[in-house]
Amino acid sequence: MKKKIFLLAIIGIFLDQVTKLLVTGFLNLNQVINVIDGFFSITYVRNTGAAWGMFSNNTLFISIISILFLFILIKYIKELPKIDFLYVVAFGLIIGGIIGNLIDRLLRGYVVDFFRFIILDYNYPVFNVADMLIVIGSIVLIISFVRDDIIEKRK
């Protein structure tokens, strides 16, 4: 099962990098393509920070933190005696997302972001596939922890 984590991560990295290549290949910086007017657009931006632009212009710091977190996560996975499907999905998505954005930071000096949503007049920060992988993987991981805690308490 643990090998499936890394297979899922590779698929995630591939999808992330292909979408970023498409965006940078076909759009100019800050160009906007409205998909659903007033709700969703493809907008090419460069992010030198983390989520919501935190730590802007600190690419090296964010890269080091990402690498450290990857090492800790991989060590944790290797030490697990058994791993079920939800953990495979969670860890695979998180690792794929971290590496996808890390590739950008190391090769470009910034992360390519392009999904923009406006919901209830709030203009959400622009994000990418790697960000989605990290968020979805984190949600699945939390669900797995809660499920395991409930199962443990029932014993």
Q: What is the chain's pLDDT, residue by residue, as a tens digit (155 residues)?
A: 789 999 999 999 999 999 999 999 999 999 999 999 999 999 999 999 887 777 888 899 999 999 999 999 999 999 988 889 999 999 999 999 999 999 999 999 999 999 999 999 999 999 999 999 999 999 999 999 999 888 888 87
Count of domains in the chain? Answer: 1
**Is 31 exposed, middle or buried (CB count within 10 Å of its CB: 0-12, 13-18, 19+)?**
middle
155 within some domain: no
Instruction: Provide CB contacts within 8 A for 39, sequence distance 6+.
Output: 117, 118, 119
pTM above 0.85, yes or no: yes
**Residues identified as active-site:** 113, 131
* Tokens at 55, concatenated: 């730590």
CA angle, residues 25, 116, 9, in degrees to nearest 5: 65
17 within some domain: yes
115 within some domain: yes
pLDDT confidence of residue 6: 94
154 within some domain: no
Domain extent for 82: 2-149
